[in-house]
Amino acid sequence: YVREHFFGATEFTRKLAEQLTDEQIRTIRRGGHDPEKVFAAYLQATQTKGRPTVVLAKTIKGYGLGDVGEGKNSTHGQKTLPTQSVREFRDRFHIPISDEEVDKIPFYKPAPDSPEMQYLKKRREELGGFVPERRDHAPRLPVPSDKIFAQFMGGTDPKSDKQPSTTQVMVGLMQNLLRDEQIGKYVVPIVPDEARTFGMEGLIGRFGIYSSIGQLYEPVDRQNVMYYKESKTGQILEEGINEAGSMASFIAAGTSYATHGVPMIPLYIYYSMFGQQRVGDQFWLAGDIRAKGFLLGGTAGRTTLNGEGLQHQDGHSQLMAYAVPNLLSYDPAYAYELAVIVKDGIKRMFSDGESIFYYITLMNEQYVMPPMPQREGTREGILSGMYLFRTAQEATSSAPIAGGGDTASPNAPEGDSGEGESNDSPNKRAAVSKKSKPAAAPQLRAQLFGSGTILNEVVKAQGMLLNYGVAADVWSVTSYQQLYRDAQECERQNLLNPGAQPKVPFITQQLAKRGDVVVASSDYMKALPESVSQYVPYPMACLGTDGFGRSEGRKALRDFFEVDARYVTLATLTELAKVGKLKWDVVQKAMNEMGISADKRNPHLA
């Protein structure tokens, strides 16, 4: 077959084979099975300087398995070998095992003084040991100074008509990190094409985009201070529309502590929809290879990235982040939350040396950023996954709503995004509804969970619920993933230590003795908050954005997906009615007052 189909392909090769017998042709090995050829090719590759080398080795599937597997498509399903095939394998590779022993298929180890063992031993000694191991010789970076984060802790002026988004806050954090004398040179901003979308032109003008050949053209905005600047000394990696290449750069920078002994802090910012969904295998690789750094999912949230429709609106990346064991996922709502998470992340990865990396979702909705609450446990709660943001008592006091505004407009003036939405939008109608008179002293209790920008809707619902005699506490859930993992660890410890004092999940501890029901609203699928529902000591309802995105404004989207303040209010009243704390006619009345129709189509497949 080889004589006819391989050598017979051309007249030249046919003549080459004329002097070979059939037996000689049968013993000719393909290049990938010829140790001398492979060694020679590898040696040549190691001696090549200034450019990479690719070695193409042609091999045969199932090489050495004989008639039962060599060169057959069934090789991958071959689980056992007949006795005769085992003997043929032994003979072919000259393995010194007797006929009496071969049927037992024993392991064979050459003698210590054999050429094979001497060669292997020498190679391992040159490589530093017999068991491959990761050696981290990189210096530990100092814990970032508080001054880097100080401007984000005190909140913004609620009277200002210019408010930031969490994306803008993150870009500001990047700038402060880059400027820092101690860690600035280790920071690696990475972006795939959308640098200006994320407001990074200031970074480009100051720090420049890295180019190995410099800037060979004059950019159209050269007359501007913040022009599109490329430089051989640039610090930003601008990868074009190439998420796979950007992740490769993230992994390279994130593993430089091990490969080069140099710690680097990659900050890769991208459209969240085009992260794990597009290059998910590289996320797994980053975890597997112990990369460190921050993956920043910008324009996140299915109802927050308005007008972009099905392709761009992300409502599931937070769920996908559950899959990678050493990936920590957060969905912060406010500037101080983001600052706390980033500072702690740098400390854990680059000062303490933990083999973890982070996924943080960022939004493009602009609203007032409140100051960090001085309540005990806030910082711990931010990092652990949840903290008490605003109590029911604070909602009924004369103090302004944290985040700015009042019940009618918490944290953001209506229409702040420039979408041209009227004041007659669903949320506006709900917020200013006066048809139900506030109860003098609310007797019913509820716990409300909010994340990301949806936390503002939850704060709004807190005020609306007072109209129905419900005193609700508002919790900012920064990470359902961290709450879930903590609860899972508690369950594991309780399983393995029968009779011992049971460990109680963090979320269960936080909610102890607070009653009566829990409602969670998220810009992600309902499965996200439902992942922790079994650890909540009260009945819990979960609102989320199951379904495809839509090209609409934020208020219409939040009405469509049933996650706005009205639906949080309705879900709370419904849960209270289920446990007999409220009459059903109150729930129906509330639906009518808030303009919610029972005939509305399910957004999941609408």
pLDDT in tens, 236-291: 999 988 899 999 999 999 999 999 999 999 999 998 888 888 898 999 999 999 99
CA-to-CA distance for 212 and 146, rounded, in angstroms?
35
Contact call for residues 465 and 472 (beta carbons, < 8 A): yes
| Three-state secondary structure call for residue 196 | coil
Least confident of 60-64, 413-417, 585-589: 413-417
Tokens of 225: 């201070």
Residue that wins the pLDDT comparison between 27 and 514? 514
Give the mean model confidence (pLDDT) for residues 183-194. Answer: 92
Contact call for residues 267 and 203 (beta carbons, < 8 A): no
CA-to-CA distance for 338 and 331, rounded, in angstroms?
9
- Of all residues in the chain, the percent with pLDDT exceeding 70 is 92
Residue 440 pLDDT: 53
Domains of the chain are 1-59 (no CATH), 146-200+236-361 (3.40.50.970), 388-594 (3.40.50.920)
Number of neighbouring beta carbons within 10 Å of residue 164? 19
CA-to-CA distance for 8 and 17, rounded, in angstroms?
9
Kindly state the helix (H) or strand (E) to which residue 590 belongs, with its residue range: helix 584-594
CA-to-CA distance for 182 and 171, rounded, in angstroms?
19
Number of neighbouring beta carbons within 10 Å of residue 388? 20
Contact call for residues 374 and 155 (beta carbons, < 8 A): no
Residues 340-356: tens digit of each pLDDT: 999 999 999 999 999 99
Residue 413 vs residues 163, 365, 407, 433: alpha-carbon distances, Å: 10, 11, 11, 17
Confidence band, pLDDT 50/70/90 cuts, at residue 132: confident
| Three-state secondary structure call for residue 329 | strand
Residue 343 vs residues 152, 175, 180, 372: alpha-carbon distances, Å: 12, 14, 13, 15
Give the mean model confidence (pLDDT) for residues 379-389. Answer: 98
Contact call for residues 199 and 171 (beta carbons, < 8 A): yes
pLDDT at residue 598 greater than cutoff 90: yes
pLDDT at residue 76 greater than cutoff 80: no
Residues 562-579: tens digit of each pLDDT: 999 999 999 999 999 999
Tokens 């210590």 appear where? 112
Residue 436 pLDDT: 52
Residue 519 vs residues 450, 463, 536, 560, 563: alpha-carbon distances, Å: 9, 15, 11, 18, 11
Instruction: Indicate the burial class of 332 (C-beta count within 10 angstroms; 0-12, 13-18, 19 or more).
Output: buried
Residue 310 vs residues 36, 321, 417, 503, 547: alpha-carbon distances, Å: 55, 20, 20, 43, 9
pLDDT at residue 185 greater than cutoff 70: yes
Least confident of 129-143, 248-262, 284-298, 503-517: 129-143
DSSP string, 568-588: HHHHHHHHHHHTTSS-HHHHH
- Helix residue ranges per DSSP H, 432-479: 454-465
Least confident of 82-86, 300-304, 365-369: 82-86
pLDDT at residue 144 greater than cutoff 90: yes
Kindly state the helix (H) or strand (E) to which residue 104 belongs, with its residue range: none
CA-to-CA distance for 452 and 427, rounded, in angstroms?
17
Give the mean model confidence (pLDDT) for residues 548-572. Answer: 94
Tokens of 411: 């944290």
- Helix residue ranges per DSSP H, 313-421: 317-320, 335-346, 378-384, 392-396
Confidence band, pLDDT 50/70/90 cuts, at residue 423: very low
Confidence band, pLDDT 50/70/90 cuts, at residue 425: very low
Confidence band, pLDDT 50/70/90 cuts, at residue 65: confident
pLDDT at residue 25 greater than cutoff 80: yes
Residue partners of 406: CB distance under 8 A and separation at least 6: 400, 463
Number of neighbouring beta carbons within 10 Å of residue 120? 13
Name the pTM for this structure.
0.84
Residues 467-500: tens digit of each pLDDT: 999 999 999 999 999 999 999 999 999 999 999 9
Backbone angles phi, psi at 444, to 5 degrees: -95, 150
Average pLDDT, the chain: 89
User: Which range is most confident: 10-19, 123-132, 278-287, 525-534?
Assistant: 525-534
Residue 441 pLDDT: 61
Give the mean model confidence (pLDDT) for residues 456-474. Answer: 96
Residue 380 pLDDT: 98
| Three-state secondary structure call for residue 361 | strand
The amino acid occupying position 591 is M
Least confident of 204-218, 341-355, 588-602: 204-218
Angle at CA of residue 320, ends 194 and 324, nearest 5°: 105
Residue 219 pLDDT: 87
Tokens of 118: 């001497």
Contact call for residues 403 and 368 (beta carbons, < 8 A): yes
- Of all residues in the chain, the percent with pLDDT exceeding 90 is 70
Contact call for residues 379 and 290 (beta carbons, < 8 A): no
pLDDT at residue 401 greater than cutoff 70: no
Confidence band, pLDDT 50/70/90 cuts, at residue 117: very high
CA-to-CA distance for 201 and 186, rounded, in angstroms?
20
Give the mean model confidence (pLDDT) for residues 116-135. Answer: 89
Residues 435-445: tens digit of each pLDDT: 555 555 668 99
pLDDT at residue 63 greater than cutoff 90: no
Confidence band, pLDDT 50/70/90 cuts, at residue 68: confident
Contact call for residues 315 and 562 (beta carbons, < 8 A): no
Give the mean model confidence (pLDDT) for residues 407-429. Answer: 36
Buried b / exposed e along 508-529 (16+ C-beta atoms within 10 A)? bebbeebebbbbbbbbbbbbbb
Residue partners of 261: CB distance under 8 A and separation at least 6: 137, 138
Residue 473 pLDDT: 97
Residue 251 pLDDT: 98
Residue 83 pLDDT: 85
Contact call for residues 407 and 463 (beta carbons, < 8 A): yes
| DSSP code of residue 236 | B
Residues 302-336: tens digit of each pLDDT: 999 877 777 889 999 999 999 999 999 999 999 99
Tokens of 9: 């392909």
